[in-house]
Amino acid sequence: MKRLTKPSLVTFISRQLRHSRAVNSFPTKFYINSGQTDPFRHQFAHCQQLSSKSCGDITKEHDSSIDKDKEQQAKDKTKKMELPEGVMIGFGNPLLDLTTTIEDTMLLEKYGLEPNAAIIAEEKHMALFDEIANQENLQLSAGGSCQNSMRVFQWIVGAPYRAVFFGAVGMDKFGEVIAKRARADGVETLYQLREDAPTGTCAVIISGQNRSLVANLGAAAYFSEDWMDSEESCCAVDTASYFYITGFFLAVSPNTVLRVAQTASETKRTTILNLSAIFVLQMHKQELDEILPYLDFIISNKAEALAFADTHEWNTKDIFEIGKRMQSLPKDNGRPRVIMITDDICPVLCFQENEKILEYPVPKLSKKDIVDTNGCGDAFVGGFLSQLVQKMPLDYCIRTGIFASHQVIRVVGVQIDKMPNFNDSCI
């Protein structure tokens, strides 16, 4: 594939943005490439987003009752486990990340951006993408929260194509770039290809230890449920045992999420939801409440958990009370729900049945090791899921998530090729 030069990149982004603005209705068809030259296909062997608060209010004692002998036995057992291809499916919005580092806040102020937040691009932000494309330090990478998590998942699992990623991209060069880079990291892509919208992009602006994200969803906003009826999709869903869904994707295709979550619950498979962003909770409460009974795990940061409580009118800011109430919400099947709440450098809180609360300390990093916080939450999820699918103890899953986030934070973006080799001694 011919490498895009900066002038052509600027032109292409501009054309995409104009195309995005021109699209004003959801398409009724989906498209896939065909033939041996299709860069998006791979045959299955079996199928033919932080609140930086003080930790001073964390007073509960860490539960250290984990049976270390049982944990070691579990490790020894799962080391021999061969995960099937497609054991994990992730649903999210595939985006091409356009990353730049700035020395001051002028660019942020120009477009009214917070230094450490994630938003959906509005008309006033469209010129930002052209401006970033002209930056000397521009970096391109396969992005989107869920896709990042799947790439980290694959880095730790090792064997390729254990994770499959669903989302929508345009039939354009950027879509090919994302597919190529995701599959280079071992992630199978079952993209719904849209002829009527360009591949989505995300402006990532790094300032110091902060990152501001502005997403122009493009084709990602047009994922439609009928893609789940395709032969490839049905095969993938039948194969998978775990389904990870971001709140961002819930905002795009709630019917798909409800369908997948109900199917997983009925067939005793596992569904994990990441709340992802405050706006998801504020704007999509009804859709979220519909799928809550089918969720086995909910992952949130503190700010999102507080927003969840606010939208449900719980009238409390006690994070422990919120976590317990989220855990005890009605559930469709008999499996107890697990709630995980992260909070920057504060302990990860884990809420389980019978009001059991576990805390997992986050080791402190030196300032010189903190290069880019973009993707840390995604990495935590990827690390956690990599052990969950291997049926490791919850303690080990969470510590693997923390380890993964600490590796990603040391580089710009989620650069899997710069990660160390993973083994049990890392945890």
Distance CA 337, CA 354 (A): 11
Using DSSP's 3-state secondary structure scheme, residue 11 falls into helix
Any idea what the CATH number is for the domain that residue 165 is in?
Answer: 3.40.1190.20
pLDDT for the residue 347: 96
Looking at per-residue pLDDT, the higher value among 2 and 126 belongs to 126
Split at pLDDT 50, 70, 90, the class of 34 is: very low
Q: Domain of 249?
A: 88-94+143-198+218-426
Any domain includes 77: no
Tell me the pLDDT tens digit for each residue of 128-169. 998 998 888 888 888 899 999 999 999 999 999 999 999 999
Give 345's contacts (C-beta < 8 A, 6+ positions apart). Answer: 52, 55, 362, 364
Highest mean pLDDT among 35-44, 108-117, 333-342: 333-342
pLDDT score of 134 = 87
The answer to whether position 333 is within a domain reads yes
Determine the pLDDT at residue 371. Answer: 78
- Which two tokens mark 152? 């980290």
Please write the tens of the pLDDT for every residue from 255-275.
999 999 999 999 999 999 999
Active site amino acids = 378
Residue 291, phi then psi, degrees to nearest 5: -95, -15
Write phi, then psi, for 202 (nearest 5 degrees). Answer: -135, 120
Q: In a 3-state reduction of DSSP, which class is residue 386?
A: helix
Decide if 299 is inside a domain. yes
* pLDDT tens for each residue of 277-298: 999 999 999 999 999 999 999 9
- Pick from 245, 246, 212, 238: which is nearest to 118 by CA? 212
Average pLDDT over residues 334-358: 95
What's the mean per-residue pLDDT of the chain?
83
Closest by Cα among 316, 310, 398, 315 to 357: 398
Q: Is 405 a member of any domain?
A: yes
In a domain, 292, yes or no: yes
User: How many Å apart are CA 309 and CA 56, to the nearest integer?
Assistant: 21
65 pLDDT more than 50: no
The count of other CB atoms within 10 Å of the CB of residue 67 is 11
The full 3-state SS of 78-136, as one line of letters, equals: HHCCCCCCCCEEEECCCEEEEEEEECCCHHHHHCCCCCCCEEECCHHHHHHHHHHHCCC
- Please give the pLDDT value at position 79: 54
| Lowest-confidence pick of 69-73, 261-265, 372-376 | 69-73
Residue 258 counted as domain residue: yes
Cβ neighbours of residue 228 under 8 Å, at least 6 residues apart? 234, 237, 256, 259, 260
Please report which residue ranges of 191-284 form alpha helices under DSSP H.
231-239, 247-252, 254-266, 278-283
Distance CA 389, CA 239 (A): 13
Tell me how long the chain is: 427
pTM here is 0.79
Asked whether residue 210 is assigned to any structural domain, the reply reads no
294 domain residue, yes or no? yes
The count of structural domains within the chain is: 1
Alpha helices in 23-65 (DSSP H): none
